[in-house]
Chain A
Amino acid sequence: EVQLVESGGGLIQPGGSLRLSCAASGFTVSNSFMTWVRQAPGKGLEWVSVIYSGGSTYYADSVRGRFTISRDSSKNTLYLQMNSLRGEDTAVYYCARMLFGSMDYWGQGTLVTVSS
């Protein structure tokens, strides 16, 4: 059974850093396209970043240069390193597996709150 479990969210001051984790089971992260999607309180879904199975990475304009997506094959885990956090980064962050132009499995999400 495919499962994705995010962790690492919390309250952080503006300008701070946080690393989110997404532990996967039932499939191999390094053989998959994996993505992060976020949802600000009361708002819609916003794509954040993707990592291809070959290792290429892409980012939304709003986070490029501040966020870094990566993975650890030995732990079958996806990460999102978030630096220089801003209030507008406050959101629930979801990881999802991408397959054929779609997101077939999603995690439960982890809340990041950026506030002083």
Chain B
Amino acid sequence: DVVMTQSPLSLPVTLGQPASISCRSSQSLVHSDGNSYLNWFQQRPGQSPRRLIYKVSNRDSGVPDRFSGSGSGTDFTLKISRVEAEDVGVYYCMQGTHWPPITFGQGTRLEIK
């Protein structure tokens, strides 16, 4: 099974400042079709998870452009250029390349400092 490891697990950020979350996989997420199926989800308090990014760097419709995804192979990053109050919540990476089983990172809790 592919293990997904996120860091940090807790991320206090000042409003307007950037934030970055790392996600590392235990094996390369490059699929035989050439794509890397690495996704990022946001879960606000009391809500269901919402997809932000798919295939490493593709932003979902309605996701602000302050969110961006990057990376390749086994190392991936979610960046928020300027944190806003509505960004508070838990962020998860998820791999969809080698499944089943589908695996998630442990989650990173973003809070406002």
- Asked if A and B bind, the verdict is yes
Interface residues, chain A, CB within 8 Å of chain B?
A: 35, 37, 44-47, 50, 58-61, 94, 98, 100-104, 106-109
Complex Cα–Cα for A46 and B105 (A) = 9
Please report which residues of chain B, range 62-81, place their CB below 8 angstroms from some CB of chain A when the two chains form the complex.
Answer: none
Given A44-B106, A44-B107, A101-B37, is A50 in contact with B100 using a C-beta cutoff of 8 Å? yes
Task: Given A47-B101, A102-B51, output 6 extra A-B contacts at Cβ < 8 Å.
Answer: A45-B107, A100-B54, A100-B55, A101-B31, A102-B39, A103-B39
Interface residues, chain B, CB within 8 Å of chain A?
A: 31, 35, 37, 39, 41, 43, 48-51, 54-55, 60, 90, 92, 94-97, 99-107
Q: List 6 A-B contacts (CB under 8 A).
A: A100-B55, A101-B54, A101-B97, A103-B41, A104-B54, A107-B48
Which 3 residue pairs of A and B lie closest in terms of their CB atoms, listed nearest first?
A: A101-B96, A101-B37, A58-B100
Contacts of B55 in A (CB 8 A): 100-102
Q: Which residue of B lies closest to A59 (CB)?
A: B100
Shortest Cβ distance from residue B7 to the other chain A in the assembled complex, whole angstroms: 14
Shortest Cβ distance from residue B100 to the other chain A in the assembled complex, whole angstroms: 4
Contacts of A107 in B (CB 8 A): 48
Cβ A47 vs Cβ B96 within 8 A: no
Q: Which residue of B lies closest to A4 (CB)?
A: B48
Complex Cα–Cα for A62 and B95 (A) = 19
Cβ B92 vs Cβ A44 within 8 A: yes
Q: Which residue of A lies closest to B96 (CB)?
A: A101
Q: Which residue of B lies closest to A107 (CB)?
A: B48
Task: Say which residue of B31, B48, B101 sits within 8 Å of A106 (CB atoms).
Answer: B48
Complex Cα–Cα for A104 and B100 (A) = 17
Given A44-B104, A45-B104, A47-B101, is A103 in contact with B94 using a C-beta cutoff of 8 Å? yes
Cβ B104 vs Cβ A104 within 8 A: no
